[in-house]
Amino acid sequence: MILSSNSFNMGQIPWPNTLSLMITIAILCNDVHLSSAKFQISPTNNSIVSRLINTYNTSNLYCFGSNCSNTDGCRNESSDTSAIWQTKIRQEFREWVYRVKDQNTKGGFNRSVPVKVDMYAEVRSTIIVDKSGNADYATIQAAIDAVPLFNTRRITIFVSAGVYQEKIVVPECKPFITLQGAGSAVTKIVWHDTASTVDGRGSFIGTFQSASVAINAPNFIARGITFKNSASLNHQGVAPGQAVALQVSGDMTAFYDCHFIGCQDTLYDRQGRHYFRDCYIEGSIDFIFGDGRSLYKDCELHATGSGWLTAQKRQDPTENTGFSFVNCRVTGAGLFYLGRAWGPFSRVVFLFSFIENIITPSGWDDWGDPSRDRTVFYGQYRCSGPGANVKDRVAWSYALTEAEAEPFMDANFIDGHDWLPCL
> How many CB atoms sit inside 10 A of residue 40's CB?
13
Q: Would you say 337 and 360 are in contact if contact means Cβ atoms under 8 Å apart?
A: yes
Helices (H), 238-340: none
Q: Would you say 257 and 279 are in contact if contact means Cβ atoms under 8 Å apart?
A: yes
Query: Among 72, 145, 286, 366, which one carries the catalytic annotation?
Result: 286
Q: 148 exposed, middle or buried (CB, 10 Å; 0-12, 13-18, 19+)?
A: buried
145 in active site: no
Phi, psi at 40, each rounded to 5°:
-120, 90
Burial letters 390-400, b for 16+ CB under 10 A, else e? eeebbebbbeb
Q: Would you say 188 and 164 are in contact if contact means Cβ atoms under 8 Å apart?
A: yes
Break the chain down into helix, strand, coil percent, rounded to 5.
20, 25, 50
Q: 236 exposed, middle or buried (CB, 10 Å; 0-12, 13-18, 19+)?
A: exposed
278 in active site: no
Query: Among 72, 193, 265, 291, which one carries the catalytic annotation?
Result: 265
Q: How far is CA 221 from CA 57, 122, 144, in A?
A: 30, 22, 13
Q: Would you say 180 and 156 are in contact if contact means Cβ atoms under 8 Å apart?
A: yes
Residue type, 27: I
Burial letters 297-332, b for 16+ CB under 10 A, else e? bebbbbbbbbbbbbbbbbeeeeeebbbbbbebbbbb
C-alpha 303/C-alpha 309 separation (Å) is 7
Catalogue the active-site residues.
265, 286
